[in-house]
Amino acid sequence: MIIGVLSQKGGVGKTTIAVNLAATYAKSGLRVLLVDADPQSSAQQWSAARDADPLFSVVGMARATLHRDLPDIAKDYQVVIIDGAPRVNELGRAAILASDLVLIPVQPSPYDIWAAAETVNLIREAQQFKPGLRGLFVINRKIANTAIGRDVTEALGQFEDIPVLPVALHQRVVYAESAGQGLAVLEVDPKGGAAREVAELAKVLMVNQEKKAA
């Protein structure tokens, strides 16, 4: 399974989600590769900041030929997660085409909702070449019991072909704190809310993919 965590918008949580999903799958015993497809190299910086033993491999592949190069490398892994780059269309297209499933993080903000259309259009374009490709929204940095938290799900309903996942990640300081040490939230606070919601997200994505394969 190749999961692209992608959005043309910057700072929505792509790297945070990619790293934590990779760690969650790796901890559950799967062979995981994290592909850093962003020229900013954030995922590789995360890995470099880490003193602990690696949970999974991280490889830098910020290139427009990613969709052609990745299948060969991916076959040695059970799960491949792509951490995408914001803004760059050529890299965005390659990362989308390389994925089986595109996870689009969206923050509860009107700017993110407006920007989502751009990524959705890239997915629709890619589906012409790869009909099995699917997109899913995940709400990130949700603040519990706020109107904007509910509005975002409603607003994303306009993209009928891209469902909003029932699991959201909340605004939690442990996401940033853990990243500074090259750690995943499940390593810093294994029983905490962040580790729990990422585990739920990982499970939902897996079930989604298995359903599709059946």
Amino acid 55 reads L
Asked if residue 9 binds Mg ion (CB under 5 A), the reply is no
Contacts of 170 (CB under 8 A, 6+ apart): 141, 142, 143, 144, 193, 194, 197
Q: Which is nearer to Mg ion, 42 or 107 (CB)?
A: 42
Q: Are 162 and 120 in contact (CB under 8 A)?
A: yes
Q: Which is nearer to Mg ion, 90 or 210 (CB)?
A: 90
Query: DSSP code of 10?
Result: T
CB of 13 to ligand ATP, least distance (A): 4
Q: Which is nearer to ligand ATP, 13 or 135 (CB)?
A: 13
Contacts of 202 (CB under 8 A, 6+ apart): 21, 24, 25, 28
CB of 211 to Mg ion, least distance (A): 29
Contacts of 21 (CB under 8 A, 6+ apart): 3, 5, 81, 198, 201, 202, 205
Asked if residue 141 binds ligand ATP (CB under 6 A), the reply is yes
Cα separation of 100 and 130, whole Å?
Answer: 9
CB of 108 to ligand ATP, least distance (A): 11
Annotate each residue in 41-80 with x if it binds Mg ion (CB under 5 A) or - if it does not, as one string.
-x--------------------------------------
Both structure tokens of 68: 């052609």
CB of 192 to ligand ATP, least distance (A): 12
In the complex, the residues that contact ligand ATP under the rule CB under 6 A are 10-16, 38, 40, 42, 86, 140-141, 169, 171-172, 175-176, 179
